[in-house]
Amino acid sequence: MLKTAVVGMGRWGRVLVESVQGRNDAGLRFVAGSTGTPAKAVDWAAQQGIRLHPNYEAVLADPEVQAVALATPHQQHAEQVIAAAALGKHVFVEKPFTLSKASAEAAVAACAKAGVVLALGHNRRFLPATAVMKQMLAEDALGTVLHAEGHISGPAAAAWKAGMWRADRAESPLGGMGGMGIHMVDMLINLMGPFASVTVQSFPRVSPHVDDTTAMLARFASGATCNFATLSLAPQAWRVALFGTRASLEMRGQQQLVFTPVQGEGWTRDFPKFDIEAAELEAFAAAVAGGPAYPLPLAEAIHGVSVFETMIGAAASGSTYSVP
């Protein structure tokens, strides 16, 4: 059982803990943690059997802690990953991994040097529908994929008030990209391979704090094109669609696939609801135990950060930027 500390006990840190805590088959148990507002977490931590430490340094100094799960502000991730690796602690880090390619590379290098597992929380990779899409692409069921569409939105920014870290433009460049859009960027990398270039429009139409509207036109290294949008003041939405010379394949929500061939009968397939938070933590624990590698290659984790960083520059300049 991998003894883990949760760092950050806001809404998402609690979701992570509650997805596996008390389950003997998870391979992971949260035993300690810290948060920026400890007074708000005292009762919850006690209910979960988590020792509450005063700060991150105390978490890392806890001899029982073998791994950390970081649900902290984006700009803290790289430094926190490097500090954990230096003490031989395995790391699960929430997305965005970091906000610059250079810091992502430094974090990956620190974990490689220390020989610890580093896992990034792009949980949509664990959806059963994603596995089917990957399999169909491998089988060339779509032919040459010409274009991809991605959309992920939600109303979260309505609750972001002045003084909250998510309402800080430095922590949430391009608005919904940090909390939501980066998931779709990872999904597109997972399905379509690396991005080559991006053109971005991003601005606040309603929000007084951050961009609420972000849209991108992009091209992949394969030559396929892509359009993508993330809105932080709109109803919940998730959609990814691939258009090929033989067929199209669309994930509508996270539990349905629609296949439309050029010739022949199409189909719609529904999937049961699946706990992707538990799945990603279980995969992290299994990788630490010497099982299968965590199913998000670190080169792709770095590339996702590079795409995000490039999107920020492209939005600011109003021009097309190549993704390094």
Phi, psi of 136 (to 5 degrees): -65, -35
- CA neighbor of 35 nearest in space, from 62, 53, 21: 53
| Percentage, residues of the chain above pLDDT 90 | 95
pTM score, whole prediction: 0.95
pLDDT of residue 228: 97
The letter for the amino acid at 260 is T
Q: Are 186 and 299 in contact (CB under 8 A)?
A: no
Report the alpha-carbon distance of residue 288 to residue 119 in Å, rounded.
Answer: 10
pLDDT band at 156 (very low <50, low <70, confident <90, very high): very high
Count the Cβ atoms, other than its own, within 10 Å of residue 258. Answer: 14
Per-residue confidence (pLDDT) for residue 169, from 0 to 100? 86
State pLDDT tens for residues 236-292. 999 999 999 999 999 999 999 999 999 999 999 999 999 999 999 999 999 999 999
pLDDT at 294: 98
Is-contact 73 67, C-beta < 8 A?
A: no
Helices first, then strands: H and E counts in the chain: 9, 15
Q: What is the pLDDT of residues 58-84, one digit of tens each?
A: 999 999 999 999 999 999 999 999 999
> Given a cut of 90, is residue 24 above it in pLDDT?
no
C-alpha span between 102 and 108 (Å, rounded)? 10
What is the homologous superfamily of the domain 2-123 according to CATH? NAD(P)-binding Rossmann-like Domain (3.40.50.720)
State the Cα–Cα distance between residues 121 and 179, nearest whole angstrom.
12
Domain boundary assignment for the chain: 2-123, 127-322
Task: Give me the pLDDT at residue 171, please.
Answer: 87
Which class is 127-322 in CATH? alpha beta
Whether pLDDT at 183 is above 90: yes
Sign of the alpha-carbon torsion through 100, 102, 104, 110: negative
Mean pLDDT of 154-161: 93
DSSP bridge partners of 251: 240, 257
* Cα-trace Rg, the chain: 20
Q: What is the pLDDT of the chain when averaged over all its residues?
A: 97
194-247 pLDDT, tens digit each: 999 999 999 999 999 999 999 999 999 999 999 999 999 999 999 999 999 999
